[in-house]
Chains A and B, each alone.
Chain A
Amino acid sequence: MTGMLDLPFLLDVMGRLLAVLPMTLALFILSISLGAVLALTLTWMRVSGIGILDRVARAYVFVFRGSPLLVQMFLIYYGLGQFPAVRHSVAWPVLREPFACAVISLGLCTAAYSAEIFRGALLAVGDREVEAARACGMSGFLLFRRIIFPIALRAALPAYSTEMILMVKSTSLASILTVSEMTGVAQKLIAQTYRTMEIFLCAALIYLAINFVVARLVGLLEYRLSRHSRRAPVLAQVLHE
């Protein structure tokens, strides 16, 4: 708290934080990909019509959405490592690594949220479109690829972009597993200098920038997919005639 804007200090902090940006991005990209694959599986289980699969997927979503990610990470990393059976299993070379555990716990958690988003999007596909396609003789995979998937994707994108932004921010928890990512480094710098707000501000700007890019990219995709239904802001016509 010098009372003055200390530009050299802020630049130094920025430099140190940007040095670990690749780690934050790697955590995000790997976990969101893992999460998407898992989420598609879970969505399929939910709509499969097979009772037991539906039940399992429901339970999964309940547990991973219902408890804090911090606790999940702690239990997956420190908890699993306490069982000799886990330590002697083939999975140990992977589970031994903090980075791998961070990606797995982030991926498991985002899968639960994404599965709900995907399911909601699937329900948004109108019966009329599906019936029309069937009437034209489409079925099976072709029906899914040409009709259901594009419509569902468009419906899922707004909520999914929110989920992606949440994941960017969630990577900050990986520092409790000794992974050196941006928030962890920021906290270390704070412990050395006690300039809490300035350092957190630098970190915030970087997260904001990443999220801005993520949101714009998804927004662009959404815009491209909704060419047929563009319209002026609705409230304009409804409230302000």
Chain B
Amino acid sequence: MMIARALASALLSATLIAGAAVSAEAKDWKSVTVVTEGAYEPWNLTNSDGTVGGFEPELLKDLCGRMKIECKVVTSDFDSAIPSLVAGKYDVIMDALSITDDRKKVIAFTDPYAATPAVFVADKTGPLAKAPGTDTTIKLDTDARTPTMDDLRKAFKGKTIGIQSATVYSTFVTNNFKDVATIREYKTSPEHDLDLAAGRIDLAFDDATYFTAAFAKAENKDLGYTGPQIGGLVWGPGEAFGIRQGDADLVAMFNKAIAEAKQDGTIQKLSMKWFKLNVVP
């Protein structure tokens, strides 16, 4: 174990240096580097010519015009986005990033530019197609059990539910259904659709904006919403830009621009264009 210990101390000192190297300094923001995944259609996507498109890049273009700064968009993997932001590789994360308490410990957020509901999906022809509350919309503020949730718990007893790992939705589903149903966590959303189609799971729970686009695919023609669309503060304030904690001035600049874009209907226009749904918070 000598080897292991030597490696441990070497790696630790590397992390410590990493922590110390980032210095927060007031900057005169003329240009910012914005990182996005470029693989989360319709929020952000890559076109076949390599350019980036989607709801967020179009919104960003508008906001940067208002702030009169230059915005450089780069794409990277989602898994390394937050550590890279903290390390100083980028200035802004734009990747359908929900505001959560866990994340707030590490990075700062702007005001949200979207707040999306989430919903269960099941086989349209199966026994779970019309769970209690289908075609209604409810607003929840906490994970606390409500009568609707109790109905759903009864309906989903003994079933297997698929969710995307490490999201606000996975916490919610785990808290509400862990004792009555089996929960499987997937790395990405499309994977639970594939397993739903294969019959390995009975239900999937995810963002409504994600499913709207998923349903457009021929292979998902048998899938449909079941149970109510769930919105509200249970998902936190919504999706926002992630910015380093030291850069309060940049947060303020973005907040001002987001407020203006909300006011004059720009966000709603883009939301209807990309999601066919109004997600303005």
Binding site for B on A (CB under 8 A): 1-3, 5, 78, 81-82, 87, 96, 98, 175-176, 178, 180, 184, 187-188, 191-194, 196-198, 201, 204-205, 208-209, 212
Closest Cβ of chain A: how far from B185's Cβ, in Å? Answer: 6
User: Is residue B180 contacting chain A, with contact meaning CB distance below 8 A?
Assistant: no
* A78-B194, A82-B219 given; A209·B18 CB < 8 A: no
Residues from chain B with a CB closer than 8 A to the CB of A81 are: 194-195, 197-200
> B24 in the interface, Cβ–Cβ < 8 Å?
no
Identify 8 new A-B residue pairs, CB closer than 8 A, beyond the known A82-B194, A194-B102, A208-B7.
A1-B15, A3-B20, A82-B197, A184-B165, A192-B166, A197-B11, A197-B15, A204-B7
Known A-B contacts A82-B197, A82-B198, A194-B86; A201 and B12 likewise in contact (beta carbons under 8 Å): yes
Known contacts: A3-B20, A197-B15, A212-B3. The answer to whether A178 contacts B186 by CB under 8 A is: yes
Contacts of A208 in B (CB 8 A): 3-4, 7
A1 touches B18 (CB 8 A): yes
A197 to B16 CA separation, bound complex (whole angstroms):
10
- Inter-chain contact count A-B, CB under 8 Å? 85
Whether the pair A78, B198 counts as a contact (CB closer than 8 A) is yes
CB distance from A107 to the nearest CB of B (A): 20
Q: Which of B7, B19, B86 contacts A3 (CB 8 A)?
A: B19
Closest B residue by C-beta to A5: B12
- The chain A residue with its CB closest to the CB of B11 is A201
Given contact pairs A87-B198, A188-B165, A78 touches B191 in the complex (Cβ within 8 A): yes
From B82, B184, B198, residue with most partner A Cβ within 10 Å = B198
Contacts of B4 in A (CB 8 A): 205, 208-209, 212
6 nearest A-B residue pairs (beta carbon): A81-B198, A191-B166, A1-B19, A197-B15, A194-B106, A78-B194
Chain A residue, CB-CB nearest to B80: A196
> Smallest CB–CB gap between B273 and chain A, Å?
30
Write the nearest CB–CB distance from A18 to chain B, whole angstroms: 14
For A175, A201, A209, the residue with the greatest tally of chain B CB atoms inside 10 Å of its CB is A201
A176 partner residues in chain B, CB cutoff 8 A: 187, 191
Q: Contact flags (1/0) for B167-200 with A, using CB distance below 8 Å?
A: 0000000000000000011110001001101111
CA distance A97 to B105 in the complex (A): 37
Verify A191–B165 contact, CB threshold 8 A. yes
Question: Which residue in chain A gives the minimum CB-CB distance to B186?
Answer: A178
B81: min CB distance to chain A, Å:
10
- Contacting A at CB under 8 A, from B210-231, are 219
